[in-house]
Amino acid sequence: MTGTVPLAVLGITGPPPDHQVVTEFEQVMLVALVFVIMFGLGAGLTPRDFLSALRRPQGLLIGWVTQFGIMPFLAFVLVLVFLLPLPEEYAIPVAIGALLMGAVPAGTTSNIFTYFSKGNLALSVMMTTNSTLWALLMTPLALVLYGSRFLPADSDLQIPTQNIVVTLVVLLVPVVIGMLIRRYNANVGAVLELMGGLVGVFFIVFLLVTWVPRNWRLLVITPIQVYAVAVLLGLLGITVAFLISKAIRLHPANARTVALETGIQNGPLAIAIVLLTFADSEALGILLLVPALYSLFIVLIATAVTLRFRRANVAEEQKIPSLL
């Protein structure tokens, strides 16, 4: 009866006893899709990409600061403003899901939107990879740093730091395999890279056609504050990172890239971490709320932002020397 107890404190009758917020098939399917996405990420990388990034590390440094400095902090502020005023039994699992969403690395979807927004695709791919590798340290660190501020010591729901690290390590395996395949067969690697990007889009479609209809009642009774966190996390992340990039005078194409890389988090990875580390929790469905809603809304947000970015005067931008 996943999610029944937390919803009951809001005066809401929980789902019927035979209802599962996430079925076993959906759990297996979602995790499998994440592995394919990570596999595609690795297939898009070559040793030359890393050498190029080391020669010009400014972009990676800026991306690291925005990714692991701004996003976890934004998630924490949104939790304080919107979620903590809700009943504790409900607020805590939703808040953990929100903090996790703010602490995971960038997703491969950001590469697609960077391309269509006329950003720096090479920088985008390297920022995604860099943040994915750093996530082994920074994701659990951010969860402990911010989660300990409101999570009671005697709470039944604790942050399984060790399990999260193990999950991230396991999910990095397909990245390495993808890199090896690209190293020895560039054509196959290119196909796998494209497949990973398409599966990232399919992941959202899968949520829309399976998870959303089955949990429509749960979504209808979900407090508006939860939707606010899911929407504002991505929107504010993109906005703040773009303003910072403009303030330090990055090339407009690089500013767009940093903004999209910062605000577009790896929603599928966050969902996989929840499924693999909180599988036995009665609050599993509530933990998934923000990651699932974020994954759905970020596509709409990123599309609107990309359309706005495409209006930039590219001819004038080409006269500006790139700083990265």
**What are the residue ranges spanned by the domains of the chain?**
19-310
pTM of the model: 0.82
Q: How far apart are the C-alpha atoms of 200 and 39, rounded to whole Å? A: 11
Sign of CA dihedral 113, 115, 117, 123: positive
- The CATH number given to 19-310 is 1.20.1530.20
Chain centroid, CA 287 distance in Å:
14
pLDDT at 5: 46
pLDDT at 80: 94
pLDDT tens-place string over residues 27-51: 777 777 777 777 777 777 776 766 6
Closest of 110, 113, 141, 137 to residue 126, by C-alpha = 110
pLDDT at 17: 38
Q: What is the DSSP-derived secondary structure letter of residue 85?
A: T
In the chain, which residues have pLDDT < 70? 1-23, 26, 47, 49-54, 56, 152-160, 197, 200, 312-324
Tokens of 89: 């039994």
Q: How far apart are the C-alpha atoms of 43 and 180, rounded to whole Å? A: 8
Q: How far apart are the C-alpha atoms of 19 and 239, rounded to whole Å? A: 39
pLDDT at 241: 94
Q: What is the DSSP-derived secondary structure letter of residue 321?
A: P
